[in-house]
């Protein structure tokens, strides 16, 4: 007799013989070895095997690094831009850079982490504020302290142009930015090589001491302001020169500083 019928047979028999007698509880049936059939019997043999693959670890560790980098940036904002206003002055830049250095020194990160951070800056769910000044200082500090000597940042899709990128880029470091950058690109460059695949805005190379800045497209006003040395190569046009102290500026392979053809901030 099938199991279900047996249970049904037993219970109907009990009802016929003694109505006042209670039906045997389910536990009693189990003890007697009568178990109700499981409608999902077929799934019992399925064993779910969750395999650990290296991707899990890679994603987890890069998330961890990103959290640390993000935390450092938030701390920098807390200290440097309390009112969410940040004035670009020499002292504030130096101070902000020192704060950034303090937070990133202990983080073990790669160039890809820096790029991820740049994109995370635009994602308001992950980072509450993008203030181009401190963000640029922080990214520059990250690049300067990175283990790699060559850093490529693919930023062409960023909607915001980051200011102050390449600040104090040291000797033996090469930084390539795919996309455009904002104001104060490569300021205070300290011997490194900064390549901008797109355009840069005003004050490019201001106060740079040595090294090379290569901008594939155009640059804005005050280019090379208080520049003390090094070279700036511009593939497109230079909108205006700053008061250059020393160094060389090329526009479309033609030397425009030192030279007689151009005056400081002479727009054309």
Partner 1 sequence: MEDKKLQEILEEIWPRLRKKHLYPEIPVPQIKPIQESLAEGEENSEGVGLEIKDKVMTLNPLFIASMEGKMSREEVMEALLDHGITHYTFCPWDFQTHLMIYAEAKKVMGDKETAKRVANYFIDVVADTHCVKHRSTQIPELHRHLKKGPIQEVIQSLYEKIWGVDLGISSSKKESRLQAETVRRLMRIPYLDRSRWPESIRKFARSLKPLIAAEQKEQRGKGGKGDSNPQGDHDLDHYSFEEIDSGLREYARKTMDLAQFREVVEDFSEELKEIGYGAEGGMGRGRSAPIDADILFYMKLAENYSIPLRKLPLEEGGDLHPHSHYPWEVGSPYQDVDIWTSFGKIMPGITQVWKKKEGRGRLKIEGAPDCLIIIDSSGSMINPRKNLSYAVLGAACATNAYLRNDSKVAVYNFSDAPMGGRDILDFTDDREAIYRSLCKYFGGGTALDLDDILPLIRKKTPLDLFIITDMKITNLETLIGFFGQIQNRVTAVHIGENPYATRFEKAFEKRKNISIFKVKRKEDIPHIVLGSIREYFNPVEKRR
SS3 labels along the chain: CCHHHHHHHHHHHHHHHCCCCCCCCHHHHHHCCCCCCCCCHHHHHCCCCCCCCHHHHHHHHHHHHHHHHHHHHHHHHHHHCCCCCCCCCHHHHHHHHHHHHHHHCCCCCCHHHHHHHHHHHHCCCCCCCCCHHHHHHHHHHHHHCCCCCEEEEECCCCCCCCCCCCCCCECCCEEEEECCCCCCCCCCCEEEEEEECCCCCCCCCCCCCEEEEEECCCECCCECCCCCCCEEEECCCECCECCCCCCEEEECCEEEECCCCCCECCCC
Q: Which is nearer to partner 1, 80 or 193 (CB)?
A: 193
Stretch that binds partner 1, among 115-123, 194-202, 226-234, 259-267 (CB under 8 A): 115-123
Instruction: Quote the least distance from Cβ 70 to partner 1, whole Å.
Output: 15
Q: How far apart are CA 138 and CA 216, in angstroms?
A: 24
Instruction: Quote the least distance from Cβ 206 to partner 1, whole Å.
Output: 30
Q: What residues does 191 pair with on adjacent strands?
A: 170
Stretch that binds partner 1, among 83-91, 112-120, 129-137, 225-233 (CB under 8 A): 112-120
State yes or no: residue 147 binds partner 1 (CB under 8 A): no
Who contacts 143 (Cβ-Cβ below 8 Å, separation ≥6)? Answer: 111, 114, 151, 153, 166, 169, 173, 175
Instruction: Quote the least distance from Cβ 213 to partner 1, whole Å.
Output: 23
Q: Which is nearer to partner 1, 51 or 82 (CB)?
A: 51
Instruction: Quote the least distance from Cβ 146 to partner 1, whole Å.
Output: 14
Q: Mask of contacts with partner 1, 68-107, x by CB under 8 A?
A: ----------------------------------------
Q: Mask of contacts with partner 1, 116-135, x by CB under 8 A?
A: x--x---x------------
Q: Which is nearer to partner 1, 46 or 267 (CB)?
A: 46
Q: Mask of contacts with partner 1, 44-73, x by CB under 8 A?
A: --x--xxx-xxxx-xx--x-----------
Stretch that binds partner 1, among 5-13, 32-40, 150-158, 247-255 (CB under 8 A): 150-158
Q: Which is nearer to partner 1, 62 or 210 (CB)?
A: 62
> Rule CB under 8 A: which residues touch partner 1?
42, 46, 49-51, 53-56, 58-59, 62, 110, 112, 115-116, 119, 123, 152, 154, 157
């Amino acid at each position: 007799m099938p199991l279900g019928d047996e249970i049904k047979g037993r219970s109907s028999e009990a009802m016929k013989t003694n109505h006042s007698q209670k039906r045997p509880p389910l536990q009693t049936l189990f003890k007697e070895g009568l178990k109700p059939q499981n409608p999902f019997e077929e799934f019992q043999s399925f064993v779910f095997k969750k395999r650990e693959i290296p991707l899990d670890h890679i994603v987890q560790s890069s998330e961890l690094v990103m959290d640390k980098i993000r935390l450092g940036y938030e701390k920098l904002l807390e200290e440097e831009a309390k009112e969410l206003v940040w004035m670009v002055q020499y002292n504030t830049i130096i101070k902000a850079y020192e704060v950034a250095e303090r937070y990133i020194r202990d983080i073990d990160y790669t160039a890809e982490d820096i790029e991820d951070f740049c994109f995370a800056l635009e994602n308001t769910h992950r980072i509450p504020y993008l203030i181009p000044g401190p963000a640029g200082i922080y990214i520059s500090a990250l690049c300067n302290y990175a283990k790699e000597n060559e850093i490529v940042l693919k930023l062409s899709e960023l909607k915001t142009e980051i200011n102050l990128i390449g600040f104090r880029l040291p000797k033996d470091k090469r930084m390539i930015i795919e996309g455009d950058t904002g104001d104060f690109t490569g300021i205070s460059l300290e011997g490194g090589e900064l390549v901008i695949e797109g355009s840069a805005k005003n004050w490019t190379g201001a106060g740079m001491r040595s090294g090379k800045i290569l901008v594939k497209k155009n640059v804005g006003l005050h280019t090379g302001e208080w520049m003390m040395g090094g070279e700036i190569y511009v593939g497109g046009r230079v909108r205006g020169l700053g008061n250059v102290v020393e160094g060389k500026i090329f526009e479309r392979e033609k030397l425009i500083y030192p030279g007689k053809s151009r005056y400081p901030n002479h727009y054309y």
